[in-house]
Structure 1
Amino acid sequence: MADEAELREQLTDAFENADYPVSGPMELVPALPDGPGTRFQSGDFSMSAMELNAKTDGGEFPYEDVDSLVDDLIAELKAAGEL
């Protein structure tokens, strides 16, 4: 089972250096350490940034800060049964 706090920390670390506000997912790619191949892992959960974008509806852009982005991503992963 995935540890939500660990996953939240990974997502925050990966997206915190984006140039906020961001108006779409493509604006987040330059901030990712390994681009779209950046992988988020916790327990039995493992997903690349590219998979994350495909398995969520992308959130409610624009985002003014990393915390609101990560909150929405976690909520969407839960709703999709991924967490």
Structure 2
Amino acid sequence: MTDVKAELREQFLEAFGGADFPVENQMDLVPALPDGPATKFEAGDVSLTAMELAAKLGNEQEFPYDTPEALVDDIIDGLEAKGMI
């Protein structure tokens, strides 16, 4: 699963890295996404849209985030905690 995790981390950093940090909430991330909430992240047998991430991980995130890395760390941790990766 570590390859999946590394691949997703790279995709998340690329997608969310263009946001105007610090971000105060999930909506601050939408303009950075190439396909908005429909932006899809895929690695191995894992496939999620940005909207699915927001819905499933809302409780795992602690806004505001000052850096893309801090945001992505929480996303990865949340996916692991929920057994999704």
Compute the TM-score of the two structures, normalised by the length of structure 2.
0.94
Structure 1 residue 3: Cα displacement: 1.1
Q: Secondary structure at the match of 1:63?
A: coil
C-alpha distance in structure 1 between counterparts of 2:71 and 2:56, whole Å: 15
Higher helix share: 2
- Secondary structure of residue in 2 paired with 1:41: strand
Q: Which runs of 5+ in 1 are unaligned?
A: none
Alpha-carbon distance in 1 for matches of 2:29, 2:60: 11
In 2, Cα distance between equivalents of 1:46 and 1:77: 12
1:69 counterpart residue number: 71
Percent identity, please.
55
Is the CA contact 1:25–1:58 (under 8 Å) kept in the aligned structure 2? no
User: 1:23 maps to what in 2?
Assistant: 24
Q: Which runs of 4+ in 1 moved over 6 A?
A: none
Residue 80 of structure 2 aligns to a residue whose secondary structure is helix
Counterpart of 1:21, as a letter, is P
Match of 2:49 in 1: 48
The two structures have a TM-score, normalised by structure 1, of: 0.96
CA RMSD of aligned residues (A): 1.1
- 1:78 and 1:58 mapped to 2: Cα distance? 11
Report the count of equivalent residues. Answer: 83
Contact 1:32/1:38 (<8 A) preserved: yes
